[in-house]
Chain A
Amino acid sequence: MPEVNGRWIADMKLPRTPDNEEPAAERACDFRPVDKGFTEEMAIAEASRCMRCKRPLCVDGCPVNIDIPLFITHIYNREFGHALDTIRESSMLPAICGRVCPQENQCEGKCIRGRKGEPVAIGQLERFLGDRPELASTPHMLPKSGKRVAVIGSGPSGIACAGELARNGFDVTIFEAFMTGGGVLVYGIPEFRLPKAVVKREIDGLKELGVKFEYNSVMGRLADAEELLGEKGFDAIYVATGAGLPKFLNIPGENLPNVFFANEYLTRVNLMKANSFPEFDTPTKRGKSVVVFGGGNVAMDAVRTAKRLGADRAIIAYRRTEEEMPCRKAELHHAKAEGVEVMPLVSPLEFLAGEDGNVCAIRVQRMELGEPDTSGRRRPVPIEGAIEEIPCDVAISAIGTNANPFAKLIGGMELNKWGYIVADEETGQTTNPKIWAGGDIVTGAATVILAMGAGKKAAADITEKLAG
């Protein structure tokens, strides 16, 4: 019993509650969610591990400073509605961030219990609440102001901004290039990690708040900032178009058939349902031997998708070692359990074509770790003469993205020399007093929670500025 004479004493003996995972061998054959989430008993047990620190380091680790000990306390007391309300003060998307935040570098990375053992499973607890949205109290709605805001892009940043604004009494329209809402959450992150139903719930929630959706609307081509603020009568714009163009490896053979950028590979399956071809019209390549370059979440999603499409060998090829991989640790762990091979310390030199003209192998340079660079990480350096060929029938590059090209066409605001939008870090306001921006189109490819946070901050600033 962790409470003694009214004082909280965490259960220090209890080990961290393990994730509620589907067996690896079974789940690797289909797209079912890998992790079923905590049950109520699991959540309450895990909540008893939290020490309710007076100076909670976990809160510093969370980019939007959720009051973690408070919501965990509510969970322990079975006050799930209060717990969810606590999170919602800081984050609009707990069901999503609980699943996809890189917790080990953020909240859980700072948790005091992690110093000598395992940190509290904050992400799982957050997701537990996020998956029970009916428990939250009805949000307070401000009276309608009659002011209209256009939100461009329906990724996490656009969703968060639109939701806040709608509650603050604005008439909000989201313009989205695709035929469905959610951005990377629907076309990038696969079903087995983030079920589409979870994203749809957020979109439906916005509709209930009165937010209007204009799909198939590529802003910058269909209308620019000038037209939105002029003829179309919007009082403000929030630009959240996300990161765009894939980065190239810039090596020979990169454009051979069956060499993909991860975005295409993932979009074909997640958005266009190519895993169900020919019932769905969009095809994809079901490689038997698939090599993915990169070490982030995108690479991990691509390689695990390849496995589910039937690859016998699915390989992650990374320049450094496993330790340095920027992906969530849970994803690497899941990928390996599902049979993904990790090939550290290789750098691609060339994609080679087979007789049919399609990619048939990749020539790679073996690397070793040299001296630490400015970031403190040991830099990979080529081992002279250690060049190999890895056979493959599909190759995927997942090494990052450049700026979305439509920011320039939307116009009316300053971009930096890489094409990202210049916006105030605190408010999201751009060089145009009527345009705000946030998410990946400002920061470059980052995280869902940062994109969400930027949308929320901008909504607060828009509310304040338009009130005046």
Chain B
Amino acid sequence: MFKILQKTQFSEKVFKFRIEAPEMAKHAHAGQFLMVRANERGERVPFTFADWNAEEGWVEFIFMVIGKTTTMLSTYEEGDSLQDVVGPLGVPTEMGEGTWVVIGGGVGLAIAFPVARQLVATGHEVHVIMGARTKDLLLLEDQFRSILPDDHLHITTDDGSYGEQGVVTAPLERLLEGGDADRVFCVGPVPMMKFSTLTAQKFGTPIIASLNPIMVDGTGMCGCCRVEIDGQTKFACVDGPDFDATKVDWNDLRARQAAYRTEEGQSLKAYEEANCACQR
């Protein structure tokens, strides 16, 4: 069992857990992830390491509430335990030289934050572009602000409710034009990653995408997490999750992510109904 040492709520739907996991803390790297099974009946779901501390023996992850598992996780409190936590999994992000632009969209911001923080910590100049549909869905703004100068944080919302109206590619294009970017890292919804990639490609700037297909084991055994890279099948959990974004087959990724939409809805509904019933 893995004890929750600290629970932090960032906004209505965004939480951070600090978990007691001394061995994991010693071996974690930015860009790697862990997998959680909340209880005996739980699904195995992946979350990126947000932070870790080898001396104090803990790791952290940030999650946004979207479906059954994350809804249930949000009800866990400090002192509760998660049934299983396994990691570190995946290949650490390669933090090449130069100035970076880190793009995070939606829940991808939770994954972008630790990467940006690690890049800053290792002496890189970093710009961050935060994108969301609307202001309420913009995660972790304060956290990003705490590691970056104001002019290095660029915010866009689709509906213009906050920051610049539009999508992440507008500030990306400006940064690329101004010569302020040697490398780009992006994570978020497929269309966002796809258009960021096309923009970076226009300028010949290398771009990495952190891909998040559905996973089951996370150890390269099942093949559920497969993605198509340059026409070849790769496993995001052991070959990734980072890949050269210009080589990704985005349609394939989108289709595979959506494969269980019906069941996910059913699962959340059953959970909500059961929980109403016991409160009554």
Contact = CB atoms under 8 A, between A and B. Distances in A.
Bound pair (A, B): yes
Interface of A: 177-179, 187, 215-218, 221-223, 244-246, 248, 254-258, 260-261, 263-264, 267-268, 272-273, 277-283, 357-358, 404-406
B37 to A, nearest CB: 6
A279 B221 CA distance: 25
A280 B221 contact: no
Nearest to B269: A278
B84 interface: yes
B222 interface: yes
Contacts of A217: 23, 86
Contacts, number: 108
A258 to B, nearest CB: 7
Interface in B213-258: 216-217, 219-224, 226-228, 233, 235, 238, 252, 255-256, 258
B203 interface: no
A251 to B, nearest CB: 11
A222 B25 CA distance: 9
B84 A215 contact: yes
Given A246-B223, A256-B255, A264-B216, A279 B83 contact: no
B206 to A, nearest CB: 25
Contacts of B41: 273, 279-281
B108 interface: no
Contacts of B141: none
Nearest to A404: B220
A189 B111 CA distance: 36
B16 interface: no
Contacts of A177: 86, 217, 219
Which residue of B27, B220, B224, B238 has the most chain A CB atoms within 10 A of its CB atom?
A: B220
B266 A221 contact: no
Contact of A222 (B24, B217, B227, B258): B24
Interface string B254-274: 011011100110110010000
Given A257-B256, A267-B221, A282 B43 contact: yes
Contacts of A254: 233
Which of B32, B89, B259 has the most chain A CB atoms closer than 10 A to its own CB?
Answer: B259
B135 interface: no
A268 B223 CA distance: 12
Interface string B33-56: 000010001111000000000000
Contacts of A404: 220-221
Give the bracket for the number of chain B residues in contact with chain A: 35 or more
Given A255-B228, A277-B267, A216 B43 contact: no
Contact of B223 (A222, A258, A263, A357): A263
A218 B27 CA distance: 11
A405 B89 CA distance: 12
A179 B220 contact: no
Q: Interface on chain B toward A: helix, strand, loop, or mixed SS?
A: mixed
Contact of A223 (B27, B224, B259): B27
Contacts of A261: 222-224
Contact of B267 (A255, A256, A283): A283
A221 B85 contact: no
A278 B274 CA distance: 12
Contacts of A281: 41-43, 68-69, 267
A406 B266 CA distance: 36
Contacts of B223: 245-246, 260-261, 263-264
Contacts of A256: 255
A234 to B, nearest CB: 14
A431 to B, nearest CB: 23
A216 B23 CA distance: 11
B216 A267 contact: yes
A258 B262 CA distance: 13
B86 A179 contact: yes
B106 interface: no
B86 A223 contact: no
Given A179-B84, A255-B233, A278 B221 contact: no
A283 B216 contact: no
Contact of B44 (A260, A272, A405): A272
A264 B43 contact: no
A320 B45 CA distance: 39
A221 B27 contact: yes
A279 B227 CA distance: 29
A248 B68 CA distance: 32
Given A216-B84, A255-B226, A406-B219, A221 B89 contact: yes
Contacts of A223: 23, 27
A264 B224 contact: yes
B85 A216 contact: yes
B88 A278 contact: no
A467 to B, nearest CB: 30
B114 interface: no
B31 interface: no
Nearest to B83: A179
